[in-house]
Amino acid sequence: NWTTGNVIEEQVAAIREQVGDKRAICGLSGGVDSAVAAALVQKAIGSQLTCVYVDHGLMRKGETEQVEKDFVAATGVQLKVVDAEERFLSALAGVSDPEEKRKIIGREFIRVFEQAQAEIIADAGPEVAFLVQGTLYPDVVESGGGTGTANIKSHHNVGGLPEDLEFKLIEPLRKLFKDEVRMVGQELGLPDEIVQRQPFPGPGLGIRIVGEVTKERLDLLREADAIAREELTAAGLDRDIWQCPVVLLADVRSVGVQGDGRTYGHPIVLRPVSSEDAMTADWSRLPYDVLAKISTRITNEVADVNRVVLDVTSKPPGTIEWE
Ligand code: XMP
């Protein structure tokens, strides 16, 4: 009989047994899965776990603080935060192609994460033998069911480490679906803002700016996105929609009029979707008054945005994200 209590008890015992007196590292993305996986492992092995959060500067407003403050407060986890905004932005400079952006963000992420790992190992010694991952059941099915180890190349600027480190994986959510993960997170005392969070792509706002990614554009998109999220929450719609990407068409300008003058600003796209599993999706029929409020606020409050448009494409043929 499935209960969250059983799952937690079972996993805590299994993780304790697996880890013994060794240590584990867990990357936090700000998303539900890694947060719940980390909280579960924290419950099992406490200070033998160190979490790493790479701030790539592509997060939404308030998300880094949520990890740094709320998650740490709820779990008491040891957290290493790496501020890598400048590194990501310079790697992304001049790049507009979506696949290239994804590759760069993925590559830089692994480099920064491995560097952080190497530093933790240099501090804690070779007993760091485990890597925690928030793999869910659908991920297991999609990838053919394999599990096991991860090879991490150590960095030459951290002395005294073997050339290649092999980590064993801890994947405490491997048997669970998303809604079950949320229940486990809730039971573990994680705040609602983390447990009920809608999906957000690893490459973050980097793939929600159509065009080159710059600090100014990210700040602009962060403001627009925060307004949309605020209004959707205020209208009680968070649970009705799967997610609502907010996209900046940075290479597009259109003519507008505001106050006494002509404007020539960027459009913001709202992409609210309903879905069961993100494999297919339909555009959400949001109430017009909510859309109107979001539109008015974004055009009033976000400089250089003079138009808000609604994406009414299902998936397929559209994907949920624009890039
Ligand atoms: P698409 O755009 O393919 O998105 O319809 C399906 C779901 O996946 C999310 N997504 C990602 N999640 N890393 C992630 O962790 C990624 O690179 C990524 N790309 C898309 C997207 O937000 C949607 O929920």
Higher-pLDDT residue of 158 and 5 is 5
**Fold for the domain defined by 208-310:** GMP Synthetase; Chain A, domain 3 (3.30.300)
Annotated binding site for ATP: 29-35
% of the chain at pLDDT higher than 70: 94
pLDDT tens column, 232-258: 999 999 999 999 999 999 999 999 999
pLDDT band at 158 (very low <50, low <70, confident <90, very high): very low
pLDDT tens column, 166-196: 789 999 999 999 999 999 999 999 999 999 9
Superfamily of 4-194 according to CATH: HUPs (3.40.50.620)
CA 44 to ligand 1 center in whole angstroms: 30
CA angle 59, 87, 65 (to 5 degrees): 30
H/E element, 261? strand 261-270
Of 209, 205, 201, 199, nearest to 58 by C-alpha is: 205
> 175 in ligand 1 pocket by Cβ < 6 Å?
no
> 134 in ligand 1 pocket by Cβ < 6 Å?
no
- pTM > 0.80: yes or no: yes
**Sheet with 149-153: strands ordered across:** 78-83, 49-55, 23-28, 128-132, 164-170, 149-153
Domain coordinates in residue numbering, the chain = 4-194, 208-310
Whose structure tokens read 């592509």? 58
Same fold, 4-194 and 208-310: no
CA dist., res. 224 & res. 237, Å (int): 17
> 199 in ligand 1 pocket by Cβ < 6 Å?
yes
> 315 in ligand 1 pocket by Cβ < 6 Å?
yes
Of 57, 30, 319, 318, nearest to 206 by C-alpha is: 57
CA 80 to ligand 1 center in whole angstroms: 26
Probe residue for ligand 1, chosen from 100, 320, 322, 323 as the CB with the greatest number of ligand atoms within 8 Å:
320
